[in-house]
Amino acid sequence: MNYPIWDIANIGGYNLIALISILHVFVAHFAVGGGLFIWLLDLKAQREKSSELNSYLRHHTKFFLLLTMVFGGLSGVGIWFIIGLVHPQATSTLIHNFVYGWAIEWVFFIGEIISLLVYYYKFELLSPKERKLTSFLYFLFAILSLIVINGILSFMLTPGKWLETRNFWDGILNPSFLPSTLFRSFFAFIVAGVFGYFTTITLKDSIIRRKILIFSSKFILFSIPFLVLSGLWYYDILSDQAKYTTFVLNQQSHIFVKTIFVTTAIITILSILMVLRFNGLIKAVIAIILVPISLLWISGFEFLRETARKPYIIYGYMYSNSILKNQEGEIQGKGILKVSKWVDGKNVQRSLWNSQCSDCHTIKGINRPIAGLLEGTPKLGIEAYLTGQGEIYKYMPRFLGTKTELIQLRDFIDNQIHPQEVEKETEASLDSAPAIQVPSTSTSAQYVLFSWATLGMHCMTDADKFFSILPPANTIHAILIKRGEPPEIVSDGVEVSYEIEAGFEDPSNRLEFWNYVKSLYGLDLKRNFGLAGDTLKGVMKQKDEIFVVDHIPVSPYSSDDKYLPYPLVSIKAIKKQTHELLAQTKVVAPVSTEVGCKNCHGGGWNFKNKVGLSDATATKILKLHDKRHKTNLLKGASKGNPIACASCHGDLATEMKGIEGVLPLSVSIHGFHASYVPFKDSKACMLCHPSSPTGATRCLRDLHVQRDLTCTDCHGSMQKHALSLLKSEANKPKSQVLIEAISKGNQMNVKARKAWIEEPHCLQCHKNFGSPEVSDEIEAHMLYREQRDDMGIPCMACHGPTHALYPATNPYDSKRDNFQPIQYTGRPIIIGSQGSCYVCHTKEPDGPGHHPNMRKKTESGQ
């Protein structure tokens, strides 16, 4: 922001900081703990009047001086050098706010230098009393130095009241100051013991060596319990947000936690072994091994501490990319390029990268290279990542800047990953559909048969060897009406059968569902049988005067290798006793595999470059899920054991209960992706659902589309839609996290609802069946597909299914969705409208008996 950035995109300045600082911090802890070690050992040597211990002290002190003073001093300067280049804004803040703290620490450091030099070079000349005083002074200066430095370091994680007061002492004496100081002190004593082992390797006197080993082991073993206790205190002092972000959301922290636990256990066990009597060579090997193990311990701790600060470098004050938190509003309004003082006008995109990303990522270099993390991710996916960055996974700062700047950064990253590729959006070519002839039913016919699919589009995933969101499962209803005055619903003594269109009888020819259905849904199904045990040809069951067949496995893939998401199902009604044909019709069984995961996740389509979930896309999704949620889904799938998403995320659509405490499937999918989808309008819906007007399905095909209404007019925006689902699960912690991410603290006035059973209803816009007043406020007491009119006729019988209300404009054949209106009226109209009551009535009714305003004229526009 206020300083130029050292552009080392393929190395990463943070890597240089880590390299220098971890080595320095390790040695600095030795400098503190080693001071106590030397002082106590000096007391022991004088108490025992042991010349051998004095000799070892001299030997150990020389090593101590060279490592801590020479290397430690130089690496300390190196830290100042590198943080000044990589994080000048943060460095400036620490200097300006704690200048007296640094000055005091330097005084203590000078005291360390003088006392250590005097102790070593005047070792033989100092009296016992002077030696004790000198060694004690060194330790005193060292521990005071640690206290001051740790006050500043701990301030960066828990600044406490300083955020409000900007007071020096509020910064130093911050909430984690005391526990972290104790924690570091006890580790410093452990490191001193480890180097105590190390400097005994060359000792020839076995008695003295054993004394030193026992002394060093006491140092370590005494410190470990207090290290653990102070560590628990340190953890407890962190804010709930820091704990959740670090230990739940950020999966990278787990390796650091494991590193600390494992290395602590190893140090404890090996320290116990060092006091036992066995081969000296093995002890020498252990002494050497313990040094890198201790270095690994401090590495794990320092990386964990850095992780706990995310997304800040100074918690609550400055983000890890050096942007001040109080600048967010200005940057979002003006743009970061206008607010920043150092922008390369000739390479604006690179300047955006440097200011937003380079503090944590390289481009193609070492450690978190963006090219590796986003390999195969399309441009839209990159935009989605930037849009949702820091909203849910709060260990990353949000993108700060204008939409134009976000697009510029997206293009820069995309060009770095795919320098030769150009993404083009093309309209999907539609395979030709078999021509259909609609027979005309005479008005003198005795019976009328209506049929409908309960969903205007059943979406399914055809990546069953990886996972299943929804299986092939279309439900068809039918009702038989005996014409007359009044007409009658007929169900007794009647058999209604169904049969899928020719070319769609064998869905298993392309779908792998039946190879994995046992693993996915726990069912043993024969090929081409649906979840309810029905095939694509059979007899419908009777339920409440309606004939029903549930979950038949309709596929959009035909036997001649075409994609047709609107296959027809023939419906016939016969008398059971005589097998006399009473009536017949056809109905569309809509089904689509145009699930748009690849739009953001990459991987491409699976079938003819226009539909289907590809192996590459499914693999990327499972990898990401495993990384984010510590699952082993990809491993299980690779062994032939995929699972249905609803196995964990319960789903009312499949009636799977899932795991208690885990968000239901629709809630989870919409709630999570709402923060990432970079659109507020119906484009957000089209990214995943097969509703794009240029896609291969084009499922929105009813009168509402002809009137220029979109998804959001009924369902609300993606964000509002997700919030309504999340509020129905508000008692679950994950739901609150996602609500906060979407609303950003501004609670929208959205009512809670449950997926699949509380959906938009006609009457939320068509008040009292009148002209519409568009509203996305869902007042769902009954689903449209379950509703009946005042005469007991299901609404869908006359109006058609959701998203395909008559008159529908099917992209493959205008007659498919309108088959029954054309069959009974000769026109693609709502059955019973425009004077077509004769379809069921033999005499013109006196009034609108089914519902008010039913005789209003509706034209197709075809």
User: Where do we find the tokens 């300067």?
Assistant: 77
pLDDT tens per residue, range 113-122 = 999 999 999 9
What local confidence, expressed as pLDDT, does residue 861 receive?
A: 39
User: Where do the structural domains in the chain lie, given as residue ranges?
Assistant: 13-314, 339-417, 447-592
Closest CA to 466 of 612, 363, 302, 321: 612
Query: What is the average per-residue pLDDT within 8-21?
Result: 84
- Give the strand pairing for 546-552 and 541-543: antiparallel
Q: Is the pLDDT of residue 8 over 60?
A: yes
pLDDT tens per residue, range 643-654 = 999 999 999 999
What local confidence, expressed as pLDDT, does residue 346 receive?
A: 82
Element (H, E) at 607: strand 605-607
Closest CA to 587 of 617, 616, 609, 554: 554
What percent helix, strand, coil does the chain show, rounded to 5? 50, 10, 40
236-240, 556-560, 742-746: least confidently modelled range: 742-746
Q: Is 586 helix (H, G, I), strand (E, B) or coil?
A: strand
Helix axis angle, 128-157 relative to 177-198, nearest 10°? 130
Closest CA to 616 of 373, 376, 371: 376
Contacts of residue 524, defined as CB under 8 A and 6 or more positions apart, other chains included, come to 517, 518
Which pLDDT band holds residue 136 (cuts at 50, 70, 90)?
very high
Superfamily holding 339-417: Cytochrome c-like domain (1.10.760.10)
Q: Which two tokens stand for residue 611?
A: 């539909």
Domain with residues 447-592, CATH architecture: Sandwich (2.60)
Residue 77 phi, psi dihedral angles, 5° rounding: -65, -40
Query: What is the average per-residue pLDDT within 36-54?
Result: 94
Contacts of residue 370, defined as CB under 8 A and 6 or more positions apart, other chains included, come to 357, 361, 362, 363, 364, 413, 416, 417
Q: What DSSP string describes 480-548?
A: EEE-BSS-EEE-TTEEEEEEEPTT-S-GGGT--HHHHHHHHHS----TT--TTS--SEEEPEEETTEEE
Which pLDDT band holds residue 747 (cuts at 50, 70, 90)?
low
Contacts of residue 91, defined as CB under 8 A and 6 or more positions apart, other chains included, come to 80, 83, 84
Beta bridge partners of 273: none
| CA distance from start to end of the chain | 59
Query: What is the average per-residue pLDDT within 176-187?
Result: 98
The answer to whether 183 touches 230, Cβ cutoff 8 Å, is yes
Work out the percent of the chain whose per-residue pLDDT is above 90. 78
The span from the CA of 319 to the CA of 66, in Å, is 37
pLDDT tens per residue, range 288-323 = 999 999 999 999 999 999 999 999 999 999 999 999
- Give the strand pairing for 537-539 and 494-500: antiparallel
Q: Is the pLDDT of residue 95 over 60?
A: yes
Q: Is 148 helix (H, G, I), strand (E, B) or coil?
A: helix
What local confidence, expressed as pLDDT, does residue 860 receive?
A: 45
Beta bridge partners of 788: 794
Radius of gyration of the chain (CA): 36
Which pLDDT band holds residue 367 (cuts at 50, 70, 90)?
confident
Q: Is 401 helix (H, G, I), strand (E, B) or coil?
A: coil
Beta bridge partners of 497: 539, 572
251-265, 377-391, 848-862: least confidently modelled range: 848-862
The span from the CA of 681 to the CA of 691, in Å, is 13
Q: Which two tokens stand for residue 541?
A: 């069951």
If you average pLDDT over every residue of the chain, what do you get? 92
- pTM metric for this prediction: 0.89
Alpha-carbon distance values, 668 to 376, 663, 672, 674, 737 (Å): 24, 6, 6, 10, 11
The answer to whether 446 touches 437, Cβ cutoff 8 Å, is no
Q: Is the pLDDT of residue 857 over 80?
A: no
What local confidence, expressed as pLDDT, does residue 780 receive?
A: 59
What local confidence, expressed as pLDDT, does residue 423 receive?
A: 63
Q: Is the pLDDT of residue 859 over 70?
A: no
Helix axis angle, 733-743 relative to 718-727, nearest 10°? 150
Which pLDDT band holds residue 135 (cuts at 50, 70, 90)?
very high
pLDDT tens per residue, range 530-586 = 999 999 999 999 999 999 999 999 999 999 999 999 999 999 999 999 999 999 999
DSSP structure class, residue 427: P
The answer to whether 546 touches 564, Cβ cutoff 8 Å, is no
Neighbours of 52 (CB within 10 A): 16
Q: Can you give the three-state secondary structure of 715-726, one letter per residue?
A: HCCHHHHHHHHH
pLDDT tens per residue, range 321-353 = 999 999 999 999 999 999 988 888 788 999 999
The answer to whether 237 touches 176, Cβ cutoff 8 Å, is yes
- Highest mean pLDDT (candidates 351-360, 441-450, 560-569): 560-569
Helix axis angle, 51-64 relative to 206-237, nearest 10°? 50
pLDDT tens per residue, range 489-543 = 999 999 999 999 999 999 999 999 999 999 999 999 999 999 999 999 999 999 9
What local confidence, expressed as pLDDT, does residue 323 receive?
A: 92
Neighbours of 214 (CB within 10 A): 12
Burial of 127 (0-12, 13-18, 19+ CB in 10 A): exposed
pLDDT tens per residue, range 462-479 = 999 999 999 999 999 999
Beta bridge partners of 314: 318
Query: What is the average per-residue pLDDT within 162-166?
Result: 96
Which pLDDT band holds residue 766 (cuts at 50, 70, 90)?
confident
Q: Alpha-carbon torsion 467, 377, 693, 715, what sign? A: positive
Query: What is the average per-residue pLDDT within 123-148?
Result: 96
The span from the CA of 544 to the CA of 523, in Å, is 28
What local confidence, expressed as pLDDT, does residue 33 receive?
A: 97
Beta bridge partners of 549: 476
Helix axis angle, 280-309 relative to 13-48, nearest 10°? 130
The span from the CA of 672 to the CA of 722, in Å, is 8
Q: Which two tokens stand for residue 753?
A: 């609802």
Q: Alpha-carbon torsion 174, 178, 181, 184, what sign? A: negative
The span from the CA of 41 to the CA of 219, in Å, is 11
pLDDT tens per residue, range 664-718 = 999 999 999 999 999 999 999 999 999 999 999 999 999 888 888 999 988 889 9
Residue 405 phi, psi dihedral angles, 5° rounding: -65, -35
Closest CA to 618 of 630, 629, 605, 607: 605
Q: Which two tokens stand for residue 625?
A: 């899920």
Which pLDDT band holds residue 76 (cuts at 50, 70, 90)?
very high
Q: Can you give the three-state secondary structure of 631-661, one letter per residue?
A: CCHHHHHHCCCCEEHHHCEEECCCCEEECCC
Query: What is the average per-residue pLDDT within 163-188?
Result: 97
CA angle 216/222/225 to nearest 5° reads 140
Q: Is the pLDDT of residue 355 over 80?
A: yes
What local confidence, expressed as pLDDT, does residue 777 receive?
A: 65
The span from the CA of 237 to the CA of 176, in Å, is 6
Query: What is the average per-residue pLDDT within 605-619?
Result: 96
The span from the CA of 472 to the CA of 475, in Å, is 10
Torsion angle defined by CA atoms of residues 513, 516, 522 and 526, in that order, rounded to the nearest 10 degrees: 60
Neighbours of 435 (CB within 10 A): 7
Query: What is the average per-residue pLDDT within 198-205?
Result: 90
What local confidence, expressed as pLDDT, does residue 789 receive?
A: 83
Contacts of residue 561, defined as CB under 8 A and 6 or more positions apart, other chains included, come to none
Which pLDDT band holds residue 862 (cuts at 50, 70, 90)?
very low
Which pLDDT band holds residue 824 (cuts at 50, 70, 90)?
very high
The answer to whether 697 touches 593, Cβ cutoff 8 Å, is no
Alpha-carbon distance values, 560 to 484, 508, 733 (Å): 44, 14, 49
Element (H, E) at 820: helix 819-825
The span from the CA of 382 to the CA of 369, in Å, is 14
DSSP structure class, residue 248: I
Q: Which two tokens stand for residue 576?
A: 């059971």
The amino acid at residue 11 is I
